[in-house]
């Protein structure tokens, strides 16, 4: 082992985890943590476990950052010990989450630093894929299954062979359906089996096994919560009491499900467990009520508390480990600009009735969206009143708490389905529709805290995404074609799910079980005999390129593919044994397309009966098969010539009105 390239971690119980090559062992790097792959010794044994070790170095962090890192690590360790390695959670091999008893990390240069860590099984990229990477919303996955990418592959494939392209489209949509089903099942299992709500696991932190995504028809388990999906990064999860006490608080509404969790709104109390930060653009209205903190008797104090909590939420998001959305980064970059605009706007309002604004003040006021902070504040107050009426907001002052249940999971899944149909995260449409100067986090707050008022601008009555008042989802371009009827039916199911779930009041939302049943119905549609027949899936495929044989169309832009064909860059010509069907159809003088056109031009049976007395020359009998002394190639050419001559004679006997008008001959490029 090269000592200059090695690093190690000494845990508080004396175990040493070694990393032979830190560069090769690095699995990921976050804002305050990094993940290395190493082997963890077992207690009282010489055996070791292959592990992904998440390490937080305490040196160089502020006191606030240290406390936040310790809180997050404690929460993750508690959740993993509670689940005891059962699905959909990972097994915990070792951990140090106590600031009083830290671990010590020795870097390759020999320096040693205090640290916190946890070790768990590694989820390698060739076995698992994170949902946001699978859909192409983040990262650079080779084959992406966002519907925009799916449409591009289908259109490119149609330039070769439409039947093969339809089979590829069907295979892609099956992957999308299985991804949504497994995500739903993972959330259902986490709540039912462990009482844990992973509200930060709808697009980030949900890992899907590639083998199940591409499994044969009928193999995905319907009634199981365990098809292999796993959650990672449990710092922002919420846990229900392991032994609930029904007398401690008023009974929770039934629509929350059997295992609701109680989340205090006081920041100090939240810090004892976890803050439900969540993923930007995948947070429910009640999640924002939790993040914005406690109410107060003074409306001014409430508004100030809401502004302070908004800053804390942004700070929490910057500290999240693991993958983060592009919109999170944009929110961080524009945060300072937003705060300056808020200050300028408030000062302008104070002086508006007394003095004329300066030219600079007028420019700043024009750039600031009118009443934005007031809209968010009013939406927050109204949501709190509704939650109080529905029995979801309990207590007063520092004792205030929000009851969290399955409707919050359903809302996140609804946003996932809605974004899937639209081919992009709702962030993109929302920001395109946003007033000039509004930052992403402020826009999300405005939308979620006034969802019932704004949903008609982003969603059609039947659940499809809108942009500028028009339908805006990728497959809308092709779903009305006759042989793609099943695409529209598949999309209708998912749009119906989004419409039924994305409601502001929790009691009006469709259940997680309803979502699961509808998603499974969409998968069963794709696997049905009717759809298999529509795409001719059971027919023997014509030999061709390997990508087409697999039913996967090459992701090459249409313009690039057209340029290839025009330049003669395609390797398979019509006479080659490996030529694709599309290459044969592109040749006007080929006998195969001509025969197909002639069959279509034959008169109907009645016309044929009228001309039954007409003498039709017989087609010459086929020549005998060549013996070993004959040239098989010569025999094949003669046989084709005889067949073509016979077809021409039959065509000559047809009425003039039925004869095929042969297109002018075109020369192939040399």
Distance CA 412, CA 282 (A): 6
414: three-class secondary structure by DSSP: helix
Which pLDDT score, from 0 to 100, does residue 353 have?
Answer: 42
Residues 658 and 653: their CA atoms lie apart, in Å, by 10
Residue 552 belongs to what H/E stretch? none
Is 556 buried (19+), middle (13-18) or exposed (0-12) by CB count in 10 A? middle
The per-residue b/e assignment along 564-584, b for 16 or more CB within 10 angstroms, e otherwise, is eeeeeebeeeeeeeebbbbbb
Alpha-carbon distance 592 to 663, whole Å? 15
**pTM of this structure:** 0.70
pLDDT at site 248: 57
Would you say 121 and 27 are in contact if contact means Cβ atoms under 8 Å apart? no
| Residue spans of beta strands (DSSP E) within 238-366 | 238-239, 261-264
Integer Cα distance of 28 and 324 in angstroms: 12
Q: What is the CATH number of domain 7-120?
A: 3.30.200.20
| Bond prior to 88 in cis (omega within 30° of 0) | yes
609-621 per-position pLDDT tens digit: 344 344 434 434 4
Share of the chain above pLDDT 90, in %: 47
Checking if the pLDDT of 354 tops 50, the result is no
How much of the chain exceeds pLDDT 70, in percent? 65
> pLDDT tens across 297-322, in order?
333 444 444 444 444 444 444 444 43
Are the C-beta atoms of 413 and 512 separated by less than 8 Å?
Answer: yes
Task: Let me know if 110 is exposed, middle or buried by CB neighbors in 10 A (0-12, 13-18, 19+).
Answer: exposed
What is the pLDDT averaged over residues 560-578?
A: 38
Q: What is the mean pLDDT of residues 249-259?
A: 89
User: What count of other Cβ atoms lies within 10 Å of the Cβ of residue 68?
Assistant: 20
Binned at pLDDT 50, 70 and 90, residue 75 comes out as very high
Tokens 């000062």, residue located: 347
- Tell me phi and psi for residue 404, to 5 degrees: -115, 135
Distance, C-alpha 248 to centroid of its chain? 40
Q: Where are the domains positioned within the chain?
A: 7-120, 588-670
Ranked by mean pLDDT, the top range of 151-165, 236-250, 329-343, 538-552 is: 151-165
Summarize pLDDT for 409-427 with one digit per residue, the tens: 999 999 999 999 999 876 5
Cβ atoms 407, 505 nearer than 8 A: no
pLDDT (average), residues 458-472: 90
Q: What is the pLDDT of residue 249?
A: 66
Q: Which residue carries 């200059």 as its tokens?
A: 4
Largest CA distance in the chain: 111
Q: Which helix (H) or strand (E) holds 99?
A: none
User: In which element (H, E) is residue 513 found?
Assistant: helix 512-526
Rounded mean pLDDT of 270-286?
80
Regarding predicted confidence, which is higher, 421 or 541? Answer: 421
What is the mean pLDDT of the segment spanning 61-71?
Answer: 93
- pLDDT bracket for residue 437 (50, 70, 90): low
Strand partners, 518: none
Q: Residue 607: enclosing H or E segment and its boundaries?
A: helix 605-610
Residues 485 and 472: their CA atoms lie apart, in Å, by 19
pLDDT band for position 581 (cuts 50, 70, 90): very low
Which pLDDT score, from 0 to 100, does residue 629 have?
40
Q: What is the pLDDT of residue 427?
A: 59
According to the model, what pLDDT value does residue 446 have? 77
Report whether 581 contacts 607 (CB < 8 A). Answer: no
Residues 242, 261: Cα–Cα separation, whole Å: 10
């Amino acid at each position: 082992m090269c000592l200059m390239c090695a690093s190690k971690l000494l845990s508080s119980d004396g175990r040493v985890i070694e990393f032979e090559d830190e560069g090769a062992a690095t699995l990921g790097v976050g804002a305050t943590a990094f993940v290395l792959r190493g082997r963890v010794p077992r207690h009282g044994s010489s055996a070791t476990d292959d592990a992904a070790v998440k390490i937080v170095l305490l040196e160089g962090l502020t006191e606030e950052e240290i406390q936040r890192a310790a809180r997050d690590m404690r929460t993750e360790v508690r959740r993993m010990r509670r689940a005891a390695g059962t699905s959909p959670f990972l097994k915990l091999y070792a951990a140090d989450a106590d600031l009083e008893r830290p671990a010590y990390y020795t870097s390759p240069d020999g320096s040693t630093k205090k640290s916190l860590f946890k070790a768990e099984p590694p989820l390698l990229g060739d076995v698992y894929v994170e949902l946001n990477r699978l859909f192409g919303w983040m990262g650079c996955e080779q084959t992406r299954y966002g519907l925009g990418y799916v449409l591009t592959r289908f259109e490119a494939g149609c330039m070769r062979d439409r039947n093969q392209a339809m089979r590829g489209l069907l295979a892609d949509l099956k992957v999308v359906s299985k991804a949504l089903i497994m995500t739903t099942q993972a959330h259902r299992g986490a709540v039912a089996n462990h009482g844990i709500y992973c509200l930060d696991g709808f697009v980030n932190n949900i890992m899907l096994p590639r083998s199940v995504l591409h499994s044969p028809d009928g193999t995905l388990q319907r009634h199981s919560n365990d098809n292999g999906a796993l959650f990672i990064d449990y710092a922002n999860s919420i846990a229900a009491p392991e032994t609930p006490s029904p007398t401690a608080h008023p009974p929770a509404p039934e629509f929350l499900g059997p295992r609701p969790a109680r989340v205090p709104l006081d920041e100090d109390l939240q810090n004892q467990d976890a803050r439900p930060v969540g993923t930007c653009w995948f947070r429910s209205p009640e999640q924002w009520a939790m993040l914005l903190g406690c109410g107060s008797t003074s409306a001014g104090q409430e508004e100030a508390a809401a502004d302070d909590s908004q800053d804390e939420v942004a700070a929490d998001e910057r500290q999240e480990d693991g993958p983060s959305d592009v919109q999170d980064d944009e929110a961080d970059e524009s945060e300072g600009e937003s705060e300056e605009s808020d200050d300028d706007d408030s000062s302008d309002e104070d002086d508006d009735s007394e003095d004329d604004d300066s030219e600079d003040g007028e420019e700043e006021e024009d750039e600031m969206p009118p009443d934005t902070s007031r809209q968010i504040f009013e939406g927050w107050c109204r949501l709190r009143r509704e939650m109080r009426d529905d029995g979801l907001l309990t207590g007063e002052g520092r004792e205030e708490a929000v009851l969290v249940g399955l409707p919050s999971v359903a809302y996140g899944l609804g946003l996932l389905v809605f974004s899937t149909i639209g081919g992009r995260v709702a962030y993109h449409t929302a920001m395109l529709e946003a007033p000039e100067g509004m930052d992403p986090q402020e826009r999300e707050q405005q939308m979620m805290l006034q969802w019932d008022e704004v949903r008609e601008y982003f969603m059609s009555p039947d659940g499809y995404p809108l942009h500028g008042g028009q339908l805006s989802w990728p497959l809308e371009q092709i779903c009305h074609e006759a042989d793609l009827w099943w695409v529209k039916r598949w999309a209708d199911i998912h749009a119906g799910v989004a419409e039924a779930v994305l409601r502001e009041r929790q009691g009006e939302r469709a259940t997680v079980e309803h979502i699961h049943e509808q998603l499974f119905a969409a998968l069963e549609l794709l696997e049905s005999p009717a759809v298999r027949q529509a795409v001719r899936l059971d027919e023997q495929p014509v030999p061709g390129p390997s990508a087409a044989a697999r039913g996967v169309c090459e992701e090459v832009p249409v313009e690039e593919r057209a340029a290839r064909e025009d330049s003669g860059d395609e390797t398979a010509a019509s006479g080659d044994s490996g030529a694709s069907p599309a290459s044969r159809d592109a040749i006007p003088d080929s006998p195969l397309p001509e025969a197909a056109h002639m069959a279509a031009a034959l008169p109907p049976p009645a016309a044929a009966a009228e001309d039954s007395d007409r003498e039709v020359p017989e087609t010459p009998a086929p020549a005998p098969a060549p013996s070993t002394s004959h040239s098989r190639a010569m025999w094949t050419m003669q046989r084709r010539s005889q067949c073509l001559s016979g077809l021409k004679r039959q065509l000559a006997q047809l009425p003039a009105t039925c004869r095929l008008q042969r297109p002018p001959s075109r020369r192939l490029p040399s």
